[in-house]
Amino acid sequence: MSASQEPATQRAVSAEIAEAAAAPPRPDGHPDRAYRPYRSTALRAPQRPLVVTPPSLTELAAPVFGAADVAPIEADLTRHHAGEPLGERIIVTGRVLDGDGRPVRHQLVEVWQANASGRYRHDGDQHPAPLDPNFTGGGRALTDDEGRYRFVTIKPGAYPWRNHTNAWRPAHIHFSLFGTAFTQRLVTQMYFPGDPLFGLDPIFQSVTDEKAQQRLIAAYDHDVTQPEWALGYRWDIVLDGTHATPPDVDGA
């Protein structure tokens, strides 16, 4: 393991990224858990193969969330404090779908992100950029009948991290998603189009298939943009597997 070694240069990490990109990508588009350019995977990716087993009845169902769980204001991250946060106000909207294109209805979508300066409201974030007293950066929403979600927030900044020397994360919003089956659980990150850091970032590049990479990038959508108010981005999310109709085990 590399714990005692000097941090790698970007050039060395970029060479490792290129090497990994030359191998055939996984058919499902997910990253390999053991991905050397992202150093923290070294001790956290399992070494043994996953054990293949059919999902249980429990795993074919998913937690249910409702109006009591999520307040509408949670979807507007610019209104969680007395004042307006600094930064570029944006709207992020899209649909959550299963592999067959069916909407995932009334299900929980959660987001968290850095502020416009690239700083997280977290004790572990040592980036010397200012916190914004008017921005926490966490939000929740339920999808509607068509699987749509919509957040109002500010565009997060890029930020440095210590994977290697001069490592910077492209601007991103973390997303957490549930489907109709626990097996469809997904945590991922949404990126913004045209970011110059894509090629340098081991986390983005851990998705080695270029087409799959594109599925992590929101599209600027002028129809979502609101005049005199906020720029709009559209990002649809497709969960693993097909929509599983949960068994009617509760008699409801």
Partner 1 sequence: MLDLTPSQTVGPFFAFGLPFDGGGDVVPMGTPGAITLHGTVRDGAGAAVPDALLEFWQTGPDGRVPVRPGALHRDGRSFTGFARVATDRAGDYRLRTLRPAAPSGARDAPHLAVTVFARGLLHHLFTRVYFPNHVEANAADPLLAQLDEERRATLMAVPDGGVTGPGYRFDVRMQGAGETVFLDLSVSGAPVPT
Q: Candidates 68, 210, 222, 228: give the one binding partner 1 (CB under 8 A).
A: 68
Q: Candidates 137, 147, 157, 232: give the one binding partner 1 (CB under 8 A).
A: 137
Q: Candidates 78, 112, 156, 180: give the one binding partner 1 (CB under 8 A).
A: 112
Nearer to partner 1, 32 or 221 (CB): 32
Nearest residue to 114 via CA among 200, 214, 222, 192: 192
Cα first-last separation, the chain: 53
State yes or no: residue 16 binds partner 1 (CB under 8 A): no
Identify the active-site residue in 120, 149, 191, 233.
120
Q: Which of residues 177-216 bind partner 1 (CB under 8 A)?
A: 182-183, 185-189, 203-204, 206-207, 211-213, 215-216
- Listed in sequence order, the residues at least 6 apart from 168 whose beta carbon sits closer than 8 Å to its beta carbon are 158, 159, 160, 161, 197, 200, 201
State yes or no: residue 32 binds partner 1 (CB under 8 A): yes
Binding part of the chain for partner 1, among 14-22, 82-90, 96-104, 144-152 by CB under 8 A, reads: 96-104
Identify the active-site residue in 169, 191, 233, 243.
169
Quick check: 181 and 60 in contact, CB under 8 A?
A: yes
Distance of alpha carbon 103 from alpha carbon 243, whole angstroms: 9
Distances (CA, A) of 208 to 45, 154, 178: 17, 29, 24
Tokens, residue 105: 């209805």
Catalytic residues: 120, 159, 169, 172, 174
